[in-house]
Structure 1
């Protein structure tokens, strides 16, 4: 896992400026740094790569990596879990390798041999830049589920691309805020690809390939999506053994490394299922969990139970209630694009603790999206009574300072309306004077011609997992030079659940299949307890730092009222704390 920055241009490139812009990326790869600066005919190019060495620790595996014939170059951030299998296939075709175990060289030679068809063979997480010097073509490729980012700026003279949005902004000198990006952030708490907070800077979509061809004094762009979970929708019979075989394979592939591997262990169903699988297959586990001082958010009792059951080498990281304002601001500074999920804070602190001893950690992220584990899925699918279905009619009377009104609109029998209320806060937007796109989101759900459960699952992958969850995992881990691998975020598993009947889903007992898997080891008290999110005591932080936050928000020049803090602190609830937090994150970001 690494980070890179590159520029290809018809004009001379300022090498010093690209080195300076790379400073934000160095945390992604502190083990080595290599720069390639050259020219071919009328094209100048400069690439800088920061490596976190995990597979093939030799310098031969450093990047940027050139092909043996010198005609192509690759910059690759990520891991290809099936690289040895793909290497064998390429070698059987006569392809030569200089390294013994580098997955980077597998990517380089595979793309050189097969073109972009090779991407269908890759099983992993990746953000790839492949430059064919002979064809004068740059290919940018993002993994199917959006685990690794690629940003780019393109004009008539050049393309600047890389792993960090702020680096692209600095190198391109394009810092004008996008009004649409700003609106989208205030609506969703994230800006969905291909947009960013800056005009003229874009982010590749998940499963997108962009080809940039440098013709004579002309740059042409083509893009395509090479994978879509909707393409796999079917109603085959779901077989538990088939699912668990894929699950075991996915976990095993993610243990492959030339360094030691750790495990996140929240004590929840997902991370505990991974721990059980690893233990049952003879692995020794190094586990990490957070212990919250506030018992309302603490699951350390359960993670400790799992650690004891599987005799893991377990570490607990303490998170106190009174986390300082300066500490929170310091953590927010890692975000190269605005993102409002407050679980960034505990996620960063846990990654930081793990990174002191390990370079790689396995997480349980993606289990809820894969198996319908979120309460919003079950609640949206539940049939409402006539009385409950009348509650949404009171929404227009509900004042914004009381909350989002989701406690009313979630009772709609319109599944699209019920589901969208968990992701959109129209009351907050209306107060800020911003128009919501919630109706378009609901229309998108209704237009899917599949079962209601799979409609919502598709939306979880299109928005929540790929645009939100994976952003958090990537930034909080890579800012600590830690690679996170998520077995549930595996396209083979995703294809399996979408192509089979959802018999694994029980509306009253989410993730039943994993609970039954764990039942013999832990009993029903463990498996049937209420789900807890990975969050910290946001209310205490927001309302105990009123003056500091209020001053911060007063400096936020985006056309909103100055009394926003006092208005939304009339009722000191979590929803209002989340609203203030969203603005605080934006204010912190815009001062960078």
Structure 2
């Protein structure tokens, strides 16, 4: 696992000289991603840089890596799990000679053999760049699920910069840091900024499953090379039952290759327990497992993690986190570089910190809920979808739209009386309704929060536009698979995988995610929805087939989540700091917010009139971004 960066001069009329000192200075902003080594390649119009965390071929994996004739140069972040098979094919069928044992060198010769389609041959997580000296082209690729990040910007001098982290690009002295108004709406609505956007108007993310092809005097060409396939033909129940565990085990096994210590996260949930079970069945030596506990019982899952650890006799490590552990908030703001609102980033940071004390590579269970329909919101959405399917949209909009506006919000009341959100959702199309269900701050409250100036700049933009876009291109009309697809394209890549990448790389820890193996996903997408969500139980098939491997309590207990007591902090330990930051001159002069709304949200929360934890946390993180990154 590493960090890459580079620069390409798109305008042949401009100075072809690349400033290596500037490139080196910028790249060192992500030195935490690769503390073991650094390397550079600079030639007219092109510069490539690399920071290395040594995992495979510790002695021979220095980057950039070159072809034997020096005409192909590659920098790479990630792991290609089938590199040995590809290496054999490239040797036997094409006669290429390899001088290292690294997966990076496979990219070099895969480019020579297959050109742009080489990316379709790789099984793994990656971003990489290939400079072809003879063709004078630069090819950049990002893995199918977006496990590894890639940011880029084109400057006024014709140079295009790219990097694994946004902070590298922010270090360029000529970057225009104008904030993108639509990204503010997206952040306060969703808690993250969906690709391909960033908080900055002139900086972008290369989307998951896409490549970028660069050539002088031509516009960058961005192309999609992978998407979730159609679910046809569906698997039979027998096929699904017989194959699911073997396919998961295979995805786990190919991620257990490393020349450094390797282990796994173990949260006590279904997915991480499944990964640990498959790891333990694949090797004789004890698996190293790491769990984070909390001194507050409502947030503590360590007893369930311990059950799995005891069953498989793992070398288990637990760290109990103080419920008042808010000391790393400013550190998190720095790590994520743009507004990021997932509160579970705090415990994720701590579990990565713990894991790095014992291993260099850790497997995680991320992706199971998205692939096998495990979120509670999937069940609620399907219940609403049944009602939507019985009534025309025009009728639903006319009837439930007004009801949603008039019905009082009653978060304090029993579930049966909390109809406001349901009425609002029933008045929407399926994609917008799902977006509404996952939103952090309601439309009404965002409207109260935003200044008129920001509303004017938004020009009608709404966070749901991202969901509508993906719904239109989804390769399915199955309502459950549709929302799973929306999760893959938004929540998974921009929240979950972003969280894990930055938290792990802050500690130079490589995290591998076997449940997001693209071959496993292509197979799992053919599981009928009736097998994934059955009798109100999400991940039904997955859990049933896990019964011989994972304790029953772990499989079927209520999902606890990975959270922290932010609400209490804002009423007690961080009470003064909250007002100081949210009502600071920087925030109020930004022109984005209504000061009275912020004051009321603070007062109501601290008096106990309302729980405004989410809005206040979003504002807290946005203020930190303005203070650290936007100046």
TM-score, normalised by the number of residues in structure 1: 0.92
CA distance in 2, matches of 1:198, 1:228: 27
Query: Of 394, 397, 404, which aligns to 1:395?
Result: 404
Residue number in structure 1 paired with 2:325: 323
Matches within 5 A, 1:531-570: 531-544=559-572, 545-554=574-583, 555-556=586-587, 557-569=590-602, 570=604
Q: CA shift at 1:402, angstroms?
A: 6.5
TM-score, normalised by the number of residues in structure 2: 0.86
Pair 1:513 & 2:541 matched = yes
Contact 1:34/1:64, CA 8 A, preserved across alignment = yes
Matches within 5 A, 1:175-324: 175-214=177-216, 218-231=217-230, 234-237=233-236, 238-283=239-284, 284-324=286-326
CA distance in 1, matches of 2:244, 2:344: 30
Contact 1:416/1:446, CA 8 A, preserved across alignment = yes
Would the alpha carbon gap of residues 446 and 212 (structure 1) be closer, same or farther in structure 2, given more than 3 Å must change?
closer
Residue number in structure 1 paired with 2:342: 341
Q: CA shift at 1:231, angstroms?
A: 4.5
CA distance in 2, matches of 1:187, 1:516: 36
Pair 1:437 & 2:462 matched = yes
Contact 1:187/1:436, CA 8 A, preserved across alignment = no
Q: CA shift at 1:500, angstroms?
A: 3.7
Residue number in structure 1 paired with 2:30: 25
Q: CA shift at 1:551, angstroms?
A: 1.5
Contact 1:371/1:505, CA 8 A, preserved across alignment = yes
Contact 2:18/2:43, CA 8 A, preserved across alignment = no
Residue number in structure 1 paired with 2:614: 578
Deviations 1:202-223 (A, max 9, x none): 1100111110102xxx243212
CA distance in 2, matches of 1:197, 1:208: 20
Residue number in structure 1 paired with 2:437: 422
Unaligned runs of 5+ in 2: 389-395
- Number of residue-to-residue matches in the alignment: 580
Query: Of 441, 459, 469, which aligns to 2:496?
Result: 469
CA distance in 1, matches of 2:94, 2:123: 22
- Classify the secondary structure of the residue corresponding to 1:334: helix
Q: CA shift at 1:446, angstroms?
A: 6.5
Moved more, 138-147 or 440-449: 440-449
Would the alpha carbon gap of residues 104 and 371 (structure 1) be closer, same or farther in structure 2, given more than 3 Å must change?
same
Unaligned runs of 5+ in 1: none
Contact 1:410/1:418, CA 8 A, preserved across alignment = no
Would the alpha carbon gap of residues 329 and 177 (structure 1) be closer, same or farther in structure 2, given more than 3 Å must change?
same
Deviations 1:554-591 (A, max 9, x none): 23224212244442241459962111111111111122
Moved more, 166-175 or 123-132: 166-175
Q: CA shift at 1:417, angstroms?
A: 5.0
Contact 1:392/1:409, CA 8 A, preserved across alignment = no
CA distance in 2, matches of 1:169, 1:427: 34
Deviations 1:228-251 (A, max 9, x none): 114455434352222222211100
Contact 1:8/1:160, CA 8 A, preserved across alignment = yes
Residue number in structure 2 paired with 1:35: 40
CA distance in 2, matches of 1:157, 1:385: 53
Matches within 5 A, 1:69-148: 69-148=69-148
Residue number in structure 2 paired with 1:363: 364
Q: CA shift at 1:24, angstroms?
A: 1.8
Deviations 1:30-85 (A, max 9, x none): 0011122233xxx3x33221100001001x32111111110011111000011111
- Classify the secondary structure of the residue corresponding to 1:504: helix
Q: CA shift at 1:153, angstroms?
A: 1.4
Q: CA shift at 1:443, angstroms?
A: 4.5
Contact 1:550/1:565, CA 8 A, preserved across alignment = no
Would the alpha carbon gap of residues 132 and 453 (structure 1) be closer, same or farther in structure 2, given more than 3 Å must change?
same
CA distance in 1, matches of 2:580, 2:409: 22
CA distance in 2, matches of 1:400, 1:48: 53
Deviations 1:117-171 (A, max 9, x none): 1111111000111111111111110111011111111256221111111211222
Matches within 5 A, 1:41-56: 43=45, 45-56=46-57
Deviations 1:502-535 (A, max 9, x none): 3431241111223223434555433221011111
CA distance in 1, matches of 2:610, 2:259: 43
Q: CA shift at 1:369, angstroms?
A: 0.3
